[in-house]
């Protein structure tokens, strides 16, 4: 016989066991609740197509002035394409074109552009804007070249050594123009490079070169657009600003896929050239910077070679 207390404990244990059994799946006549299952990952959904890209090599002056930053979103929206813009000197941009690293160029080095076309690397040279080169320098003009013709000014710089000259020294379009002026002045460039401490090469774009010339109270050759954009940060003033040779034309060139087989985007490259020469964009190029700087940075020319 169980004592009364022991009997109460046994009955309590039996009641607990019965309660547990009643809630177990499949017990007490209840159907088990099926476990939720994850839907299988679909295997027939294709990834979204990547947005097409257009690779552009541009001269630093078109970038440093902010013109490309202004035009880029308009082109991307209009043609549903992403622009990859590589800014460098025109010489390096042309080399990128030869290698097929880009699909289209916007540069300003006419003699080398014409050779690029004659060598069949480019489809066509299409001018779209121009401005002029300037020789800028300190207001006190230590070399005494103010108002001279460009060739005469370079001769005096060489002969006097009276003022520091900061060259791009980077085979850019501006550097190419500088070398042309030295040649017309009667000097081989190798001689100029070693003429003395007064001649310095920055190896940089136009903006940094202007800043270096400013720090050294020296002269440099600059495109007008970049000088105007940087003018408020400089103590340099235009010293020589007249002469036919100073004409500075910007052109667009689509890379020829028959010559450079890795250049695959000729259609979109041509779209960019149509865009740059369209009446709407030509008007915007002509107005660009006027409100901010009070001067026109670029003159549109819509496929026509301007006369000097």
pLDDT, one tens digit per residue, over 89-115 is 999 999 999 999 999 999 999 999 999
pLDDT of residue 46: 52
Given this chain, do its domains 53-131+248-300 and 132-246 carry the same CATH topology? Answer: yes
Q: What is the CATH number of domain 53-131+248-300?
A: 3.40.190.10
pLDDT of residue 303: 76
* Spatial separation of the C-alpha atoms in residues 156 and 172, rounded to whole Å: 24
Backbone angles phi, psi at 83, to 5 degrees: -90, 130
Tell me the CA distances in angstroms from 88 to 108, 170, 198, one per residue in order: 11, 9, 26
**With a threshold of 0.75, does the pTM exceed it?**
yes
Angle in degrees, CA 103, 108, 111, rounded to 5: 100
Q: Determine the topology of domain 132-246 in CATH.
A: D-Maltodextrin-Binding Protein; domain 2 (3.40.190)
Residues 6+ apart with CB under 8 A from 76: 82, 83
Tell me the pLDDT tens digit for each residue of 18-48. Answer: 444 444 444 344 444 444 444 444 444 555 4
* Spatial separation of the C-alpha atoms in residues 64 and 209, rounded to whole Å: 12
Element (H, E) at 123: strand 122-138
Give residue limits of the domains in the chain: 53-131+248-300, 132-246
Which has the minimum average pLDDT: 39-48, 200-209, 257-266, 289-298?
Answer: 39-48
Q: Please indicate whether residue 26 or residue 295 has the higher confidence score (pLDDT).
A: 295
pLDDT of residue 123: 96
For residue 284, how many other CB atoms are within 10 A of its CB? Answer: 15
pLDDT of residue 47: 53
Tell me the pLDDT tens digit for each residue of 121-168. Answer: 999 999 999 999 999 999 999 999 999 999 999 999 999 989 999 999
pLDDT of residue 49: 53
Tell me the pLDDT tens digit for each residue of 64-95. Answer: 999 999 999 999 999 999 999 999 999 999 99
Asked if residue 7 has pLDDT above 50, the reply is no
């Amino acid at each position: 016989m169980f004592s009364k207390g022991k009997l109460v404990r046994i009955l309590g244990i039996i009641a607990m066991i019965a309660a547990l059994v009643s809630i177990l799946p499949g017990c007490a006549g209840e159907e088990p609740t099926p476990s939720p299952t994850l839907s299988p990952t679909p295997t027939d959904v294709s990834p979204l197509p990547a947005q097409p890209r257009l690779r552009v090599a541009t001269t630093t002056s078109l970038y440093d002035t902010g013109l490309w930053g202004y035009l880029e979103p308009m082109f991307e929206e209009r043609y549903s394409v992403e622009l990859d813009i590589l800014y460098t000197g025109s010489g390096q941009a042309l080399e990128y074109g030869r290698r097929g690293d880009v699909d289209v160029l916007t540069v300003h080095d006419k003699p080398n552009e014409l050779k690029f076309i004659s060598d069949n690397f480019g489809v066509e040279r299409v001018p779209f804007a121009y401005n002029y080169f300037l020789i800028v320098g300190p207001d006190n003009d230590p070399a005494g070249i103010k108002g001279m013709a460009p060739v005469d000014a370079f001769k005096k710089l060489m002969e006097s050594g009276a003022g520091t000259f900061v060259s791009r020294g980077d085979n850019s379009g501006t550097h190419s123009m500088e070398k042309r002026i030295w040649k017309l002045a009667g000097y081989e460039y190798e001689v100029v490079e070693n003429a003395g401490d007064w001649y310095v090469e920055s190896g940089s774009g136009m903006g940094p070169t202007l800043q270096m010339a400013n720090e050294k109270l020296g002269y440099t050759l600059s495109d007008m657009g970049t000088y105007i954009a940087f003018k408020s940060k400089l103590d340099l003033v235009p010293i020589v600003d007249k002469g036919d040779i100073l004409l500075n034309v910007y052109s667009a060139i689509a890379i020829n896929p028959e010559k450079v087989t890795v250049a695959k985007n000729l259609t979109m490259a041509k779209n960019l050239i149509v865009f740059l020469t369209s009446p709407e964009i030509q008007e915007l190029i002509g107005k660009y910077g006027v409100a901010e700087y009070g001067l026109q940075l670029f003159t549109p020319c819509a496929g026509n070679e301007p006369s000097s």
